[in-house]
Amino acid sequence: MITLLDYGAGNVRSVINAIESLGETVRVVATAEDILSAEKLVFPGVGAFGNMMEILHRKAYISPLKAYLAAQRPFLGICLGLHALFESSEEAFTAEGLGFLKGTVKRFDVTRAVPHIGWNGLAIQQPSRLFKDLRGDEKFYFVHSYHVAPEDPEVVLTTTDYGYSFVSAIQQGPIVATQFHPEKSGRSGLKLLENFIRAGNTAHVPEIRRCHTRLAKRIIACLDVRTNDRGDLVVTKGDQYDVREAGEVRNLGQPVELARRYYQEGADEITFLNITGFRDFPLEDMPMLEVLRQTSRNVFVPLTIGGGIRNYTDVNGRSYSALEVASEYFRSGADKISIGSDAVAIVEAYRKSGRKSGDSAIEAIARVYGSQAVVISIDPRRVYVHEPDAVPHHVIETAFPGPEGQHYCWYQCTVKGGREGRDLDAVSLARGCEALGAGEILLNCIDRDGTNTGFDLELINAVKSAVSIPVIASSGAGCADHFREVFSQTEAESALAAGIFHRREVAIETVKQSLVGQAEVRV
Ligand code: 1PR
């Protein structure tokens, strides 16, 4: 039996699911005594260091944890569960760590996008039982803005490169901890978890030993979900956001089944967008929560969910905060939430007042779950103008002139699934969201959506050059070559597609194979 330390933030469900999928039972820590009596303790963590340490203190888990570690009992820390082992963190100067290992946790000091999100490799520094049956060139899923800096080089198990080389796993006797998320790292991650649970005492050195590693470009499958006119929850797909054909909502399959198929076919991430979430209330729209629960039981890559994440008052006058809505999604298996319409309202208010309210959905969710868990979904549409200073917006010169021969355009933000245009451009929205603490931008494009004509590279370059957080290029993918184009002509960290995958026009594997040698991918 595995004992799991859940301190109440983030997606612990997926760690439980991953362990259970290996045929093991999980007991969740309910009292300090459960820690002391654990046979094998897993401590997963997401969110913020300060918040984590505060909860560990409040629950009186600090001393039993220290005693467990000091007794050199089997321990697997994941992400913040690794950070907790150190003395302190730049993420929260006043919070003290467990101090089991000497050293601190530092923020990435790189010119690249932070958080470091995605699949990266391991440069193995010493043998370990964790490596049984691994080749050594596998990639694992990372999502973090801070990394550990141990004083003792002897504890370094693996390093990973992102701007520079950082410590991505430690080992000290039976105590191991990883910066990456094995529970979100597909088959390789499950193998590593299984090794923690079952491998004997023999330490292994994988066949392939890399000195340096590279972050892969991510290929994301997106499922737009809604209820059709018969009341069935279906994956649909729009043409420039129009999901109806001959009056009926297009039905391209069942969300749970499709997600499972994309996982098996090698998707690096799966995104669900509840596209009518802006008018429904997600906590009443239980099917989406159920979709997440079922999907996370056997899909071990990151899951993002969007649609309807905002403050809400129900018919009985009870108010729910966006944080409560998001928490329900995290508890059901989501790793990230995506905010669409509400992000526009938040940034409009922020720009008007010139100050952060501190309690917007973006700020509140990032504070508890970390910036990396907050994705902003932008739904922009091109608006052509004759002159660059025709409007007080971020205007670009375009190689694709407008209907009246205009050589300039700006990208107008829309809300409610493209139904309503706002007086805000996509670049300003992305910048505002980054300032408020968002961790990633999902950049759709209404003009390209469902057209199979390729990504809007001009839009992607305009937004990507304005922010330092990762950008997901979305809308318009029609063939494998469009992915090569987006990764060679923009700095986007990942690319998302829907229609071509749903209609089996191009397989995810074909996309990845065509990128080999052109861009780093997880194959
Ligand atoms: O506003 O917070 O409730 O979130 C609603 C979410 O639903 C937003 O993320 C918004 O983008 C999405 N959405 C709303 N209406 C539609 C629609 O299609 N009618 N879908 C919609 C957005 C766009 C992409 C799509 C890509 C790739 N779908 O996610 O998957 O364009 O498509 P392609 O590869 O086939 O071209 P809120």
d(CA 511, CA 93): 44
- Mutating to test ligand 1, I would choose from 449, 455, 485 the residue with most ligand atoms within 8 A of its C-beta, which is 449
Give the DSSP per-residue string, 260-319. HHHHHTT-SEEEEEETTTTTS-TTT-HHHHHHHHHHHHH--S-EEEES--S-EE-TTS-E
Q: Quick check: 277 pLDDT over 70?
A: yes
362 lines ligand 1 (CB under 6 A): no
282 lines ligand 1 (CB under 6 A): no
381 lines ligand 1 (CB under 6 A): no
Which residue, by CA, sits nearest to atom 17 of ligand 1? 241
Q: What is the pLDDT of residue 313?
A: 84
Q: Quick check: 199 pLDDT over 80?
A: no
Hey, what amino acid is at 380? P
Q: What is the pLDDT of residue 316?
A: 85
Measured at the CA of 497, the angle between CA 234 and CA 217, to 5 degrees, comes to 135
CA torsion, ordered 157, 162, 166, 167, to nearest 10 deg: -30
Which residue, by CA, sits nearest to atom 5 of ligand 1? 307
285 lines ligand 1 (CB under 6 A): no
Q: pLDDT tens digits for 201-238?
A: 899 999 999 899 999 999 999 999 999 999 899 999 99
314 or 414, greater pLDDT: 414
Angle 286-298/322-331 helices, nearest 10 degrees? 40
d(CA 4, CA 14): 12
Which range has the worst mean pLDDT, 23-27, 132-136, 228-232? Answer: 228-232
Give me ligand 1 centre to Cα 416, in Å: 10
- Mutating to test ligand 1, I would choose from 223, 311, 379 the residue with most ligand atoms within 8 A of its C-beta, which is 379
Helix (H) / strand (E) element for 336: namely strand 336-339
Give me ligand 1 centre to Cα 393, in Å: 23
Give me ligand 1 centre to Cα 207, in Å: 43
Active site residues: 79, 181, 183, 224, 379
Instruction: Give the whole-number percent of the chain exceeding pLDDT 90.
Output: 88
Give me ligand 1 centre to Cα 264, in Å: 23
Q: Quick check: 315 pLDDT over 90?
A: no
Q: What is the pLDDT of residue 361?
A: 97
Q: pLDDT tens digits for 333-378?
A: 999 999 999 999 999 999 999 999 999 999 999 988 888 899 999 9
- When pLDDT is averaged across residues 95-114 and rounded to a whole number, the result is 95
406 CB-near residues (< 8 Å, 6+ apart)? 384, 385, 386
Q: Can you list the positions of beta strands (E) in 114-178? A: 116-120, 123-124, 140-144, 146-150, 156-162, 164-172, 175-178
d(CA 194, CA 172): 19
Q: What is the pLDDT of residue 11?
A: 66
Q: Which atom of ligand 1 is nearest to the CA of 378?
A: 11
Instruction: Give the whole-number percent of the chain exceeding pLDDT 70.
Output: 99
Give me ligand 1 centre to Cα 230, in Å: 21
Average pLDDT value over all residues in the chain: 95
Q: What is the pLDDT of residue 411?
A: 98
Q: What is the pLDDT of residue 10?
A: 61
d(CA 515, CA 217): 9
